[in-house]
Homo-oligomer: A and B are copies of this chain.
Amino acid sequence: MSFGKYFSVFNKLTASEQEALLNETVLRRVPAGTLITAGSDSCIGVVVVRSGQLREYITSEDGREMTVARLFGHDISILSASCIMNSINFDIYLSAEKDSEFWVIPPQLYRQLVEKSAPLANYTNRLLAASMTDIMWMAQQVLWKGIDRRLAHFLLDESAIEDSLTLKITHEAIAGHIGTAREVVTRMLRTFQSDGLVKLSRGCIEIIDIEKLEELDE
């Protein structure tokens, strides 16, 4: 089991802590589109990504979505174990954007281990701090940056992830990433098209002028 290579604090734990982790941690494989956790009702535990692509996001009462972070191999979701921390009072959703493999450390086990282990508690501090930085980054985007800059940033990000200038993604999906409505995305993409930044066709966005997009994202 290569779990230890992905959960980097593993080697600092005691033999019995390592054994408990290896015994109770479960490897899961899910197809793209799977909803892995939906808020506090389904706190599944700490998710350690082996491969694929996951998305952490929040939702509004009327069903709008906003991406908090996108996770790849070696990334860890501590927010999917929010029930471990009594002081986390918000709902996080986790879904698979691509076919994915990940380990799940059960919340009861994690809570029990972290109470006794200074290395694991300090590692958890770093995970929490990193998630807090993701949330703050998202908040600052929304507070200080217009939809044009958020959309430009998302297109560049997606292009880097897919390693392609041609993005196959719906306007609805983009809206869920940047926390706005589909109509707003469609309108802004048309403006981008008029300005020569992208070319739109059915289900497809082609990036034409990456430098101008990067200027927008600055």
**A residues within 8 Å of B by Cβ?**
58, 60-61, 64, 66, 85-90, 114-118, 121-122, 124-126, 128-133, 135-140, 142-144, 179
- Closest beta carbon of chain B to A217's beta carbon, Å: 14
Complex Cα–Cα for A166 and B86 (A): 36
Among B121, B129, B143, the residue within 8 A (CB) of A118 is B121
Q: Which residues of B contact A125 (CB under 8 A)?
A: 85, 114, 121, 124-125, 128
- Cβ-defined contact, B60 with A126, below 8 A: no
Complex Cα–Cα for A29 and B11 (A): 45
- Cβ-defined contact, B144 with A89, below 8 A: no
Interface majority SS on A: helix, strand, loop or mixed?
helix
- Cβ-defined contact, B58 with A130, below 8 A: no
- Cβ-defined contact, A116 with B118, below 8 A: yes
Among B114, B116, B133, B139, the residue within 8 A (CB) of A139 is B139
Complex Cα–Cα for A137 and B66 (A): 14
Q: Which residues of B contact A64 (CB under 8 A)?
A: 143-144
Complex Cα–Cα for A106 and B143 (A): 32
Q: Which of A64, A117, A139 has the most CB of B within 10 A?
A: A139
- Cβ-defined contact, B90 with A137, below 8 A: yes
Q: Which residues of B contact A122 (CB under 8 A)?
A: 114-115, 121
Q: A87-B126, A117-B118, A135-B136 provided; 11 other pairs, C-beta below 8 A?
A: A61-B144, A85-B126, A90-B137, A114-B122, A114-B125, A115-B118, A116-B118, A121-B124, A128-B128, A128-B132, A136-B139
Chain B: CB-nearest residue to A61: B144
Closest 6 CB pairs of A and B: A121-B121, A139-B139, A85-B129, A87-B129, A60-B144, A87-B130
- Cβ-defined contact, A88 with B121, below 8 A: no
Q: Which residues of B contact A133 (CB under 8 A)?
A: 87-90
Complex Cα–Cα for A60 and B130 (A): 20
